[in-house]
Structure 1
Amino acid sequence: MLNNIQALRAFAALNVVFFHIIGASISYNQGVDFFTFLTEWGANGVDIFFVISGFIMVYIQDKKSRTALSFLYNRIVRIAPIYWLLTILVVSIYFVLPSVFRDLKPSLDHFLSSVTFTSQALGYGLPTLYVGWTLEYEMFFYVLFSLGLIFKSKAKSFLTPVLILFVVASLGLTQLMALEFVLGMICAKIYLSERYNHLGLPSFIIGTIILLISIFYKIDIDRFFVYGIPSFFIVFGLINMKQIKNKLLIYLGNASYSIYLIQVFTIPAFYKFSSKFLPSLQTDLVAVLSLIFTTIVGCVLYSLVEKKLASVISNATKKKYKNTIVV
C-alpha cells in the first residue's frame, strides 16, 4: 500500500480547500492578513491530483489487468455517486433558498451537463458543483485510458491515451494541465521498471523546492510547468521513500475526495456564520477554523456516506464485474 500517496492526497485536498478559503475571505470582507502569500499557491493541489491519477491508473492496471468496460465502471463507482448526490443537493437548496447563492442559476441543460461531466466541453462553463471542473478532466482521462485498454499490447495501451492527450493539447482543445496525467503515467512506468527507484529522496527534495519557490516568485508560464513538473518529482519521490504508517494522514487521504467536494458547502456556510456572529475574530484564525470545519465535515461525509454508497453500488453489481476493485 502506497501510504505516502494517501498523505499526498490529503495535502493536495487541503491545499485546494485553503485556496478557496482565501478567496472566500475576500468575498466576505474578512480577507486574511498573514496568509496572503498563499493566495494562489493552493491551486497546485489540483495538479498534484492529476499526476497521482495518472500514476494510479497505470500502477493498478499493472497489478490487476482489467477490461476497458471494467475500468470505466470502477472509475464511475469511485467518483460519480457522491458527486451526483452533492450536485442534486446544491440544486435542491437553490430551489428552497435561492438567496443563499450569489451566482448559481441552474437549468436542466446545465444540470445534465454537470452530472455527465461535460459542462465545459458543451460550453456551460463550471458545473453546478463548481469544483467538479477537475472531475471533468479526470473523466476525459479515464475515457482515453480505457480506449488504450482495448489493445492487448501494454505498449499500445500506454501510448494510446498519451498520444491522444498530446494531440488534443497541441491543438489547443484542452489546457496543458491535461498532460499532467501523462506525467503520472510516466512516473508509474519508471517506478515499475525499478531502474531509478533509488532516486526517491532527491526527487522529492527537488519537487518540493520548486513548488515552494512558486510561493514567492510568480512565474508567468503555464501551470503545467510551475505546478505539474514539480508534482511529478514529488509523486515519484514519495512512492520510492519509506512509507508512512500514520493512521490519521492515511485516513485523511482516504477522505480527501469528500473533503474536496464538501468545501462547496462548508466554506460559504462558515463565512456567512463568522461574518454575522464573529465579525471581530482575527481573519487568519477564521480561515484556519474554516479549514478545520471543512475537514471534519468532509471526514464525516466520507465515513457515513461516500464509503457506504460506493460499497452498496459495488456489491449490487459485483456479479457482473467480478474483476472490479475500487481504489
Structure 2
Amino acid sequence: MTSRTFHSVQALRAIAALLVVVFHLQIVEQKYSATTPLIPTLMRYADSGVDLFFVLSGFVMTTIAAGSYGSPHNAGRFLLRRCWRVLPLYWLYTSVVVALMLLAPGMANSSYQDQSIVASYLLWPQSQLPLLTVGWTLIHEMFFYLVMAGMIAFARESLLPWLLLGWAVLTLCAQQLLGPAAAPWQLVTSSPLTLEFIAGALVGLYWQRLPAGLALPVAGLGAAGFLSTLLILAGLDAAAPSAALRALGFGLPAALLTLGLVRWERASAPVLPPALLRIGDSSYSLYLSHVFVISAAGRLWQKSGWNSTTWQSGLFVLLTLLACVGAGLVSWRLLEQPLQKLSSLRRRRAQASGIVAE
C-alpha cells in the first residue's frame, strides 16, 4: 500500500455510492409499488452520499497535489488528469440520454429535454439539472478542480490552509450577498456545498496530526452525526435540506468520519471487506450508470404485476440493488478502466519521448 493509497477512502466511496443508489431506488419503489414501500423513510435523504463524496474528493485532491504547488505546469497537468478522470465516462452516459431522447423519447425524462445539450456535456451550470441528472454533482467537482488548479499554479504549499479558509469565508459571504435569484454559475460558486470540499481538503492536510488513539472515536462521532441527521430529517418529515444544512448536518460528520478512518487505517492497517473495496473502485461507474438500471427495472416491475405484496417489493429492491452494483462493475471493467489505462499509456509515451517532464 503506497503512502497515497487509502482503502478506507475506497470503502467510504462504496458507502456513498450505495446511499445514492438507495435514494433513487426508494423513489422508484414508492412510484411503482402497490403496497407499503420497504425502504425506510430516512432513505429519502440518502442522497447525502453526495456530501460524503464531496468531502472525499477534497481529501483526495490535497493528498495527490502534495509537493506540486507553485507550478503552472503542474496545475495544467492536474487539471488535465482530473478532466480525463471525470469527463469521458460522463460524456458516454450523457450520450445514452441524448440517444434515448432521439430514439425513445418516452424513456427519457421529459422535464429536462429543453436543456442545452452542449452545456450538459461541458458541465456548465444551468437553471435545471443536466441531461444526465446526477451530473449536477460533477459541476461542483469541476469548479473545485479549477480553484485547486489555480492554487497549485500560483500558491506556496505553506499558504494552502489559509487559502482554503479564505475560500470558505468568501463562499459564505457570496451566499449571503447573491441570494437565490443569482445566475446558475453564481449559485454554484457560492454554494455552501463547496465547504464540504474544503473540509475534506483540510482533512487531507492534517489527518496525520490526529492522535492514533482518537481515530476510532472521531470516526464514530462522524458516523453518529451523519446517521443522526438522517433520523432527524426523517422524523421531522422535512423537505430536502438546503445546501447550508447539508454542509452542516452531513458534510461536517463526513469530514470527521474520513479523518478518523484514514488515521485509523494508517495506525492499524485493518483488512477491509474486499467486496466493499471493489464497489469503491467502481463507485464512479456505479454512480453514473445506476439511474438507467433503476429506471428500467422500475418500468419492468410495474408491467410484471409483481408489485402488490411485501415480498415482491423486497425481491425488487434486492435484485435491483444487485443489478446496479453489477452494472457498475461491468462499466468499471469495460469502460472506465480502459479509459484510465489509455491516459496512463499516453503519459508514459510522452515521458519516453521527452514531451512531458515528470
**Structure-1-length-normalised TM-score:** 0.89
Q: Does 1:272 align with 2:302?
A: no
Bigger radius of gyration among the two: 2
Using the alignment, how far apart are the partners of 1:265 and 1:99 within structure 2?
Answer: 14
Give the deviation of 1:297 after TM superposition: 0.6
1:187 to 187, 195, 203: 203
CA 1:302 to 1:25, structure 2 compared with 1: closer, same or farther past 3 Å?
A: same
Using the alignment, how far apart are the partners of 1:31 and 1:308 within structure 2?
Answer: 43
Give the deviation of 1:285 after TM superposition: 3.2
Using the alignment, how far apart are the partners of 1:25 and 1:176 within structure 2?
Answer: 31
Give the deviation of 1:165 after TM superposition: 4.5
Q: Give the stretch that moved more between structures: 273-282 or 202-211.
A: 273-282
Query: Counterpart in 2 of 1:228?
Result: 251
1:218-273, CA deviations, whole angstroms, 9 ceiling, x for partnerless residues? 27771111101110110011101134343222211110000000012111001111
Query: Counterpart in 2 of 1:125?
Result: 128
Contact 2:35 2:308 in 1 (8 A): no
Instruction: Look up the equivalent residue of 1:296 and give its one-letter code.
Output: G
Structure 2, unpaired ranges of 5+: 176-186
Contact 2:100 2:108 in 1 (8 A): no
Partner SS state of residue 127, structure 1:
coil
1:174-230, CA deviations, whole angstroms, 9 ceiling, x for partnerless residues? 3212100110011111124x3534421111110111112223212777111110111
Instruction: Look up the equivalent residue of 1:310 and give its one-letter code.
Output: Q
Give the deviation of 1:313 after TM superposition: 3.6
Q: Please report the RMSD computed on the Cα atoms of aligned residues, expressed in angstroms.
A: 2.2
2:282 to 255, 259, 262: 255
Using the alignment, how far apart are the partners of 2:135 and 2:174 within structure 1?
Answer: 24
**Structure-2-length-normalised TM-score:** 0.82
CA 1:197 to 1:59, structure 2 compared with 1: closer, same or farther past 3 Å?
A: farther
CA 1:125 to 1:105, structure 2 compared with 1: closer, same or farther past 3 Å?
A: closer
Using the alignment, how far apart are the partners of 1:226 and 1:28 within structure 2?
Answer: 31
Structure 1's consecutive aligned runs of 4 or more residues displaced over 6 angstroms after TM superposition are: 63-66
Query: Counterpart in 1 of 2:122?
Result: 116
Contact 1:68 1:147 in 2 (8 A): yes
Q: Give the stretch that moved more between structures: 211-220 or 290-299.
A: 211-220
Query: Counterpart in 2 of 1:90?
Result: 97
Using the alignment, how far apart are the partners of 2:68 and 2:149 within structure 1?
Answer: 14
% of aligned pairs identical?
29
CA 1:32 to 1:141, structure 2 compared with 1: closer, same or farther past 3 Å?
A: farther
Using the alignment, how far apart are the partners of 2:307 and 2:38 within structure 1?
Answer: 18
Using the alignment, how far apart are the partners of 2:331 and 2:227 within structure 1?
Answer: 31
Q: Give the stretch that moved more between structures: 152-161 or 224-233.
A: 152-161
CA 1:226 to 1:245, structure 2 compared with 1: closer, same or farther past 3 Å?
A: closer
